[in-house]
Amino acid sequence: MEKITSIIVDDEQDSRETLLNYLGKYCPQVSPLAECANIQEAKAAILKHQPQLVFLDIEMPRGNAFDLLEQFGEVDFEIIFITAFSQYAVQAFNLSAAHYLLKPVDIEELEKAVESVAERLTQKDQLSHAKILLENMAALNAQNRKLVLPLMEGFEVVRMSDVLFCEAQDNFTCFYFTNGKKALICRNLKFYEKALNNFGFCRVHRSHIINLEYVKRYIKGKGGTVVLENGKEIMVSNNKKVELVRRIKEG
């Protein structure tokens, strides 16, 4: 088994020791080369060791994870973020398809994140998820944010403003774009309901999420119907109607 070189960046010694212990027991393919307590130590260690993977705590004294990443022109290493961030930040990670672990670290989630990193390294996936995450955190307008869609053969990066609506297809989600194209994504609609809800999208039916930017008309009924700018009509569930109408009026 080829080893994945890594460093651990966390200001709490107990957290570093716990993660080291977990890696030794459950992720033997990971080879930790250094431990760092702040972003200054982390930058020096990354330049020295050129790791394939960085376990990166987000909030630290004297600068956070994003301050560290902004010091690198190109982020050419994989990152597993470790965070106690709010749901809003977790959504940003999901949009960017960035790996993250919530504190306290769950062993099963750690194993899944490491396996995913190993797969990316094997496929030589060149997409900088960290860069897209930084852009998303900086974007003031939600529709300017980017969304990383995992495809069977890799990833596709799209702007939220290009997404018209999403439709459930069994355990997959079909994305429909403003240019008439579509893409079948191997994640279910519930995942995207959580990821997109705070960014101008609304679940209106058990099988549909719409981009509120493109609602042209709402037709009353038991649940009603929304008409999008391209003429597409989508049924609204009765239990989703109040929330939809409120958000349209507020928008």
Segment 200-210 mean pLDDT = 96
Q: Single out the residue in 81, 107, 135 at which a domain terminates.
A: 135
103 and 184 fall within a common domain: no
Does residue 144 surpass a pLDDT of 60? yes
- Cβ–Cβ under 8 Å, residues 36 and 27: no
Beta bridge partners of 218: 226
What pTM was estimated for this model as a whole?
A: 0.62
Q: What is the pLDDT at residue 86?
A: 59
| 245 found inside a domain | yes
156 & 94 share domain: no
Is there a single domain that holds both residue 176 and residue 64? no
pLDDT bracket for residue 137 (50, 70, 90): low
pLDDT of 141 over the 70 cut? no
At 106, is the pLDDT very low, low, confident or very high (cuts 50, 70, 90)? very high
Mean pLDDT of 180-185: 93
Residue 198, domain member (yes or no): yes
Total Cβ atoms within 10 A of residue 67: 12
Domain boundary among 135, 159, 180: 135
Least confident of 40-44, 78-82, 135-139: 135-139
Q: Do 207 and 125 sit in the same domain of this protein?
A: no
- 177 and 208 in a single domain? The answer is yes
Selection from 242, 151, 153, 163 nearest residue 204 by Cα: 242
Domain carrying residue 171: 145-250
Same domain, 101 and 152: no
Q: What is the SS3 string spanning the chain? A: CCCEEEEEECCCHHHHHHHHHHHHHHCCCEEEEEEECCHHHHHHHHHHHCCCEEEEECCCCCCCHHHHHCCCCCCCCEEEEEECCCHHHHHHHHHCCCEEEECCCCHHHHHHHHHHHHHHHHHCCCCCHHHHHHHHHHCCCHHHCEEEEEECCEEEEEEHHHEEEEEEECCEEEEEECCCCEEEECCCHHHHHHHHHHHCEEEEECCEEEEHHHEEEEECCCCCEEEECCCCEEECCHHHHHHHHHHHHHC
Q: What pLDDT is recorded for position 148?
A: 84
What's the CATH code of the domain at 202? Answer: 2.40.50.1020
Predicted confidence at residue 32, as pLDDT, reads: 96
Angle at 6 between CA 107 and CA 33, to 5 degrees: 115
25 within some domain: yes
What is the per-residue pLDDT across 56-95, written as a single tens digit (0 to 9) for each? 998 887 777 878 888 887 788 989 988 876 555 676 677 7
- Residue 8: the pLDDT is 97
Are 105 and 202 contained in the same domain?
no
More confident residue, 21 or 69: 21
First to last CA, the chain: 53
Domain shared by 156 and 117, yes or no? no
Q: What is the pLDDT of residue 127?
A: 60
Tally the domains of the chain: 2
Mean pLDDT of the residues in the chain? 87
| Res 210: pLDDT | 97
Query: For position 45, which CATH number holds?
Result: 3.40.50.2300
Rounded Cα gap, residues 60 and 64, in angstroms: 5
91/231: higher pLDDT = 231
pLDDT band at 34 (very low <50, low <70, confident <90, very high): very high
Q: Where a domain ends, among 80, 112, 135?
A: 135
Residues 10 and 127 reside in one and the same domain: yes
CA 160 to CA 142: how far, in whole Å?
Answer: 7
Q: Do 99 and 196 share a domain, yes or no?
A: no
